Structure 1
Amino acid sequence: MSACRHPKESVRNRALIVCIENFYLDVDLTQRRGVKRDMKRLDKILTKLGFHVVIKKDIKADGIYEAFKAESEETVKECFIGVISSHGEEGVVFGADGCPVKLAEVYSYFGGPLMEGKNKLFLIQACRGHALDGGVETDGVETDSSSPEEEESLSELFSIPIDTAVMYATPPGYAAFMHPLGSVFIQTFCDLLEKERGSDLEITRLMTRLNHQVAYNFQARGKVLGGKKQMSCFVTSFTREVFPFVDSSSTAATEVDPSLTFTARQLVNEPERTQKIISLG
Structure 2
Amino acid sequence: MAFLVAGTLQVATQMADNRDSLGRKGKYNVQGPRAALMLSSPGVAATAVTALKDVFQALGFESFERREVPVQGFLEELAWFRERLDAHRRLVGCALVALVAPRGQLWQPQQLVWELSSCGVLQGCPKVFLLLPSGPGGEWAGQGHRGWAGEPQASLQANTVLLHSATLEPGAFLNGLRELCSRTPHWSLVQLLTELFHRVAEESTGGTCCPVLQSSLRGALCLGGVEPWRPEPAPGPSTQYDLSKTKAALLLAVIQGRPGAQHDVEALGGLCQALGFETTVRTNPTAQAFQEELAQFREQLDTCGGPVSCALVALMAHGGPQGQLLGTDGQEVQPQALMQELSRCQVLRGHPKIFLLQACRGGKRDAGVGPTALPWYRRWLPAPPSVPSHADVLQIYAEAQDSSGRGPPSGSSHQADILTVYAATEGYVAYRDEKGSDFIQTLVEVLRANPGRDLLELLTEVNRRVCEQDVLGPDCDEPRKACLEICSSLRRRLCLQV
Aligned residue number for residue 125 of structure 1: 358
Aligned residue number for residue 398 of structure 2: none
Matches within 5 A, 1:11-50: 12-22=246-256, 31-50=257-276
CA distance in 2, matches of 1:221, 1:99: 25
CA distance in 2, matches of 1:111, 1:49: 22
**Residue 86 (str. 1) matches residue 317 (str. 2):** yes
* Other structure's SS at 2:249 match: strand
CA distance in 2, matches of 1:63, 1:222: 30
**Contact kept in structure 2, 1:94 and 1:100, CA below 8 Å:** yes
Change (3 A) 1:19 1:50: same
CA distance in 1, matches of 2:456, 2:329: 35
Q: 1:51 aligns with which of 267, 274, 277?
A: 277
Shift of 1:192: 0.6
CA distance in 2, matches of 1:166, 1:96: 23
Change (3 A) 1:223 1:33: closer
**Residue 97 (str. 1) matches residue 332 (str. 2):** no
AA paired with 2:432?
A: M
Shift of 1:78: 1.1
CA distance in 1, matches of 2:413, 2:323: 11
Aligned residue number for residue 487 of structure 2: 235
Aligned residue number for residue 189 of structure 1: 443
**Contact kept in structure 2, 1:104 and 1:157, CA below 8 Å:** yes
Shift of 1:154: 4.8
**Contact kept in structure 2, 1:86 and 1:95, CA below 8 Å:** yes
Shift of 1:114: 2.2
Q: For each residue in 1:233-269, what CA deviation from the matched residue of structure 2 results, as whole angstroms up to 9, or x when unmatched?
A: 11011122221x112xxxxxxxxxxxxxxxxxxxxxx
CA distance in 1, matches of 2:457, 2:406: 25
**Contact kept in structure 1, 2:469 and 2:481, CA below 8 Å:** no
* Other structure's SS at 1:230 match: coil
Count of aligned pairs between the two proteins: 210
The structure that has the greater radius of gyration is 2
Aligned residue number for residue 167 of structure 1: 421
* Other structure's SS at 2:340 match: helix
Aligned residue number for residue 293 of structure 2: 67
CA distance in 2, matches of 1:223, 1:44: 32
CA distance in 2, matches of 1:216, 1:62: 37
Shift of 1:226: 3.0
Shift of 1:157: 3.5
* Other structure's SS at 2:280 match: strand
CA distance in 1, matches of 2:347, 2:474: 48
CA distance in 2, matches of 1:40, 1:119: 23
Change (3 A) 1:175 1:110: same
Q: What is the RMSD of the two structures over their aligned residues, measured on CA atoms? A: 2.0
**Contact kept in structure 1, 2:356 and 2:420, CA below 8 Å:** yes
CA distance in 2, matches of 1:187, 1:21: 16
* Other structure's SS at 1:176 match: coil
Q: 2:497 aligns with which of 246, 249, 262?
A: 246
* Other structure's SS at 2:312 match: strand
AA paired with 1:132?
A: R
AA paired with 1:215?
A: C
* Other structure's SS at 1:117 match: coil
CA distance in 2, matches of 1:63, 1:221: 30
Shift of 1:186: 0.4
Runs of 4+ in 1 over 4 A off after TM superposition: none
Q: 1:115 aligns with which of 341, 348, 372?
A: 348
**Contact kept in structure 2, 1:218 and 1:229, CA below 8 Å:** yes
**Contact kept in structure 1, 2:411 and 2:420, CA below 8 Å:** no
* Other structure's SS at 1:157 match: coil
CA distance in 2, matches of 1:59, 1:246: 30
Shift of 1:159: 4.0
**Contact kept in structure 2, 1:72 and 1:115, CA below 8 Å:** no
Q: For each residue in 1:196-230, what CA deviation from the matched residue of structure 2 results, as whole angstroms up to 9, or x when unmatched?
A: 31x11212111111111100134337771431111
**Contact kept in structure 1, 2:309 and 2:348, CA below 8 Å:** no
Q: For each residue in 1:148-168, what CA deviation from the matched residue of structure 2 results, as whole angstroms up to 9, or x when unmatched?
A: xxxxx7573354642010000
**Structure 1: which 5+ residue stretches go unaligned?**
1-10, 23-30, 137-152, 248-281
**Contact kept in structure 2, 1:92 and 1:101, CA below 8 Å:** yes
> Once structures 1 and 2 are overlaid, which stretch shifts more, 112-121 or 172-181?
112-121
Change (3 A) 1:154 1:86: farther
**Contact kept in structure 1, 2:310 and 2:348, CA below 8 Å:** no
* Other structure's SS at 1:134 match: coil
Matches within 5 A, 1:173-212: 173-194=427-448, 196-197=449-450, 199-212=451-464
Aligned residue number for residue 77 of structure 1: 308
Q: TM-score by structure 2 length?
A: 0.40
AA paired with 1:236?
A: S
* Other structure's SS at 1:132 match: coil
Change (3 A) 1:161 1:99: farther
